[in-house]
Structure 1
Amino acid sequence: MVIKESQTIGLNARKAMTLNQEELTRTSLTEVLEGLGVEKPVRNCAAGRNACIRKAVAPNDQLGVATRKHLVGVVDYGMAWILKCHQNIAQWEEAS
């Protein structure tokens, strides 16, 4: 159900296939601009992403490998989108 609902709003694991997970982690930890662009929610999302990834890589009898990979892809794509929005908002705030 989560996968189907996420696809209806545009979050798809296929879009995350081109993302570099290590770079995404580095960016979410070090390149969030302090005091600009709704920093706190972005940092909360980064922490949530890290927790989801940690849980997803652990073997689980309830979820198959394909489902876990799909969920990781959805979370990664969402985090990349949030970081992109954060950077745009920060640029707008600096310009005004």
Structure 2
Amino acid sequence: MSAPTIDIQPNTTGLPGLAALESIVGALLTFGLIAAVAGVAISASAWAVGAHSSNPHVAGKGKSGVLVAGGAALLIGAANTIVTFFNNAGASIR
């Protein structure tokens, strides 16, 4: 006895409101990128103040903040590609 084959694919017609949800997610991506830019600016300022005032703790936190905000922007920008990659990888498993 073999198990039945189930082949369900994502679609854009299954539920009402998907266009609104896509719009909301797009706005969240924009908000995240704006927050990342603010994070880079604030962290770079802290890095500069820490470096010029001979405060290695503040300078180190500023460096870390720049890297974290840059990484966040990278992940936000690549979100569609990352999700598409894993969706295709998962769909190819049989």
Q: TM-score, normalised to structure 2's length? A: 0.44
Who wins on radius of gyration, i.e. which is larger?
A: 2
Structure of higher RCO (CA pairs closer than 8 Å, 6+ residues apart): 1
TM-score after normalising by structure 1: 0.43
